[in-house]
Structure 1
């Protein structure tokens, strides 16, 4: 299992999510704590890179960008966007 962390800017972005979307974000975090490597690479030219992305929410209206620190078994969320 990986430990979830979030940078301050991303935490503020989560605070701005619609209330009904927060449950979807929480489900995504639970997923990332177990299987963070399932997310596609952030950059297509670095398919094995530690920076990853994952969509979430109704209609895929949210995007989380995160970094996997494998040696520490940590997942650090660096950006959360909502366009839904």
Structure 2
């Protein structure tokens, strides 16, 4: 559970640290972030609302 907790802490302070979900649209608010050894989070970062919404967590 530590890698997930570390990811959540990172998203609190640096939500734009992920990679664009769609490389053709790098300024979109939907991002992905790798964590742990094989985890991947997909999320939406909303600056004006200061919110991050996790859409999907893939973690074996």
Give me the TM-score of the superposition, normalised by structure 1: 0.68
The residue number in structure 1 matching 2:50 is 73
Q: Which has the higher contact order (CA 8 A, sep 6+)?
A: 1
CA displacement 1:42-82 (0-9 Å, x = unmatched): 00011001000001112xx1000000111110000010002
Q: Unpaired segments of 5 or more residues in structure 1?
A: 1-21
List gaps (5 residues or longer) in structure 2: none
Query: Aligned to 1:26, what secondary structure does the other structure show?
Result: helix
- In the alignment of these two chains, the number of paired residues is 60
Considering fraction of residues, name the structure with more strand: 2
In structure 2, C-alpha distance between the alignment counterparts of 1:39 and 1:55, rounded to whole Å = 8
Instruction: Decide which of 1, 14, 17 is 1:35's aligned counterpart.
Output: 14
Residues 5-20 of structure 1 mapped to structure 2, 5 A cutoff? none
Between Structure 1 and Structure 2, which shows a larger proportion of helix residues?
Answer: 1
Q: Which has the larger radius of gyration?
A: 1
